[in-house]
Amino acid sequence: MPSEANSRVVSGFLDYLKIEKGLAPLTISAYTSDIGQFAGFLEKHKRTLLNARRDEVSNFIREMFSNSVDGRSVGRKLSALRHLYRYLLLDKMIDYDPTLNIDSPKQWKVLPKSLARDEMESILRSPRAKSDRKDAEALAVRDRAMLEVFYAGALRVSEIIGVKLEDLKLEMGYMLVRGKGDKERIVPLGKSAQETLSSYIRTSRPVLMTGKSSPLLFAGRGAKKLTRQRVWQIVGEASSAEGRHASPHMLRHTCATHMVENGADLRTVQIILGHSDISTTQVYTHLALDRLKNVYQKHHPRAKAR
């Protein structure tokens, strides 16, 4: 239920649209739905339509995109909000329009969905042997190692099924990865990934090889090459235990998101992701700015001065 303050604002605005603008009922109905959705978003953040800030408008649009709302619908919602705040300014109910300088939806680069840290930890622990057979345990260890590498190095599916055993420099803590355009990059591996990979190579990979050989680091039973579909299934099964369906692409962006949240600069993230252009990595800019603001608020002696 919308708050009383928001209800009054919406009611006055709708009267304005009907009487002053003479808009069609269908248009008014669409405006009502869009503004009501934004009002509900604000109330979850303990704000109202009258004290909304630019950040709230930006975050609302970002949430729409992350929920796969198409750009045309997002554009209509933004248009409804712009009309609302022009009305509120004219009626002198607010002093500031929070929709000013908000880019049109077609200009947005939207941050892909990522997992929370506890969700990621659960996924990494998820693969379990499905039977008492020796190869079942070997498959579970392989899957855990793959998930660790996805998260440690933000690999693409094509990269993880193509990485070779000789590309792994375990004692040095990195692996060589061939990405788009056959460009080679170095991907660091954390301690957890190193330990899981070491266990996989020592005990599980030989079981899966069944006496055959393969140059690939990750392989199926009988040294068969893994398909893209199989890797998607592995990630999907590991995440379904948490009630959340994740994809390999989501693990890649989770790695980048958590790095930025922990203070990594965008240039470093660009190198790890294998983006040829920094503009592709700049989709994470708002995370870096959020962290910068939090650090500033915490440490600058005048940040909270009044």
Claim to verify: residue 279 and residue 133 sit in the same structural domain: yes
Whether 257 maps to a domain, the answer reads yes
Q: Please identify which of the residues 47, 142, 258, 275 carries the catalytic annotation.
A: 275
Looking at the fold, whether 145 and 199 belong to one and the same domain comes out as: yes
pLDDT at 65 over 70: yes
- Residue 94 contacts residue 84 (beta carbons within 8 Å): no
Which one is catalytic: 85, 151, 174, 284? Answer: 284
Which value, in Å, is the radius of gyration of the alpha carbons in the chain? 25
Whether residue 284 lies in the annotated active site: yes
Q: Is residue 180 flagged as an active site residue?
A: yes
Tokens of 179: 């990405």
Same-domain status, 92 and 220:
no
271 and 172 belong to one structural domain = yes
pLDDT in tens, 18-58: 777 677 788 888 888 999 999 999 998 889 999 999 989 98
> Does the residue 197 lie in any domain?
yes
Q: Does an H or E element contain 14, and which? A: helix 4-16
The rounded distance, in Å, linking the Cα atoms of 149 and 233 is 16
Banded pLDDT at 198 (limits 50, 70, 90):
very high
Residue pair 151/124 in contact by the 8 Å Cβ criterion: yes
**204 burial class (0-12, 13-18, 19+ CB within 10 angstroms)?**
buried
One domain, residues 141 and 252:
yes
The angle subtended at Cα 63 by Cα 60 and Cα 64, nearest 5°, is 90
Residue 209 belongs to domain spanning:
117-292
Beta bridge partners of 177: 185
Residues 146 and 284 in one domain: yes
Whether 221 is a known active-site residue: answer: no
**12/152 same-domain check:** no
Based on the residue annotation, tell me whether 113 is a catalytic residue of this protein.
no
Q: Do 81 and 141 belong together in one domain?
A: no
Closest by CA to 260, choosing from 286, 226, 237, is 286
Are 285 and 108 spatial neighbours (Cβ–Cβ below 8 Å)? no
**154-195 per-position pLDDT tens digit:** 999 999 999 999 999 999 999 999 888 788 999 999 999 999
* Distance separating alpha carbons of residues 289 and 82, to the nearest angstrom: 25
Q: Which of 107, 126, 155 is the last residue of a domain?
A: 107
Active-site hit among 142, 205, 252, 258: 252
| Active-site residue (options: 180, 202, 212, 245) | 180
Residues 95-120 pLDDT 10s: 989 998 887 665 555 556 788 888 89
Domain count for the chain, please give it. 2
Catalytic residue among 76, 82, 224, 249: 249
Looking at the structure, tell me whether residues 44 and 187 fall in a common domain.
no
109 is catalytic: no
275 as an active site residue: the answer is yes
Which CATH number covers residue 61? 1.10.150.130
